[in-house]
Amino acid sequence: MKVLAIILSMMLLSACGTTKVQRIDSSETIDLSGAWNDSDSRMTAETMVADVLSRPWINRHVSQKGNPPTVIVGSIKNLTHEHINTNTFISDIERELINSGMVEFVASAKQRGDIRDERKDQDLNSTEATRNAAGQEIGADYMLTGQINTIIDANASTQVRYYQVDLTLISMADNRKVWVGQEKIKKLVENAKLRY
């Protein structure tokens, strides 16, 4: 009888759940499924940008050219087992690089296209004083490209998820690789073997 009462109360309790929303700090790390999440993206970007900015290529460039290097972020390929939106990762890297103040940053190919269209429009419609002339763009000295890879080892209820992010900074002038960075994340995900 007791067993039956417990089962019935569990059934009743499970039906009483309501939607609950709680606001949390955006920098707080919450792992739910073990998949790549915002924290992975942010922390990887921070670590890798800190690494790229601490390497000798930057001082070498400043001493040779006399001004800070101009960087553009190219494509970062998702070669993982997950549908990752690499745009958020690219944004995280761009933010870290710009905020460091150590490099100049230029708009992406898509953004440049939009800006050029706007500039053409200004040519036709803006006053002489406010018009921005074409041909004044800064060309990037370096392009940052990369890929995110995964290796997954799984059995019925346990998974080891290994992420490897490889970024390469390539000189636009001569295709030299001036920096190669690598960040690894390893997660052990244990799924419940039983459910109600």
Partner 1 sequence: MGNLAMFTAVKPTLFMLAILCTILSGCAKSNRNMAEVANQLRNNLPVESAITRLEAIKVESQSTAQHQLNLGYLQLVSGDYSKALINFEQAKTTMASLQAISISENLRSATINETGRSYSGWPTDQVLVHGMMAITYLLNNDLNGARVEILQADTQMNKLAEAEIKSSQGQLAFVRYLAGVIYELNEEYDSALISYRMALGILTARNETIPAPLQQSLIDLTSRVGLIAESKDYQKQFSRGLSKHYTNKQFIFAFDGVVTQMQQAKSTLWWDIDDVYLSVALPMFPRNNYIEYPFYIHSSEGEIVSQTIESIEKRAREDLQAKMPAISAMALARAGAKFQTVKELNKKDNVLGAFANVLTIISEVADLRHWSMLPSSIQIATSYDKAATLQFSSRYGQQTLGGSNNDEYQSKPHEDATLESNIAANTTSGDNDEALIGRKLITKSKAAKKIDLKHVNSTVSDSTAKIPRESITYLSDTTKKNAVILLSSLTNKIHIASF
Q: Candidates 150, 164, 168, 171: give the one binding partner 1 (CB under 8 A).
A: 150
Q: What number of CA atoms fall less than 13 Å from residue 178's CA on the CB side?
A: 23
> Binding string, 110-149, against partner 1, x = CB under 8 A?
----------------------------------------
Q: Which of 90, 71, 63, 108 is nearest to 148 (CA)?
A: 90
Q: Is 195 in the site for partner 1 (CB under 8 A)?
A: yes
How many residues touch partner 1 under the rule CB under 8 A: the total is 25
Tokens representing 77 are 């390929």
CB of 144 to partner 1, least distance (A): 19
Q: How remote is the C-alpha of 134 from its chain's centroid?
A: 31
Residue with structure tokens 């006399």? Answer: 66
Tokens representing 136 are 């004044």
Residue 52, burial from CB neighbour count under 10 angstroms (0-12, 13-18, 19+): buried
Q: Candidates 50, 59, 67, 77: give the one binding partner 1 (CB under 8 A).
A: 77
Which CB sits closer to partner 1, 77 or 186?
A: 77
The answer to whether 183 and 146 are in contact (CB under 8 A) is no
Q: Is 85 in the site for partner 1 (CB under 8 A)?
A: no
The footprint of partner 1 (CB under 8 A) covers: 1, 3-4, 7, 10-11, 77-83, 150, 152, 154-157, 191-196
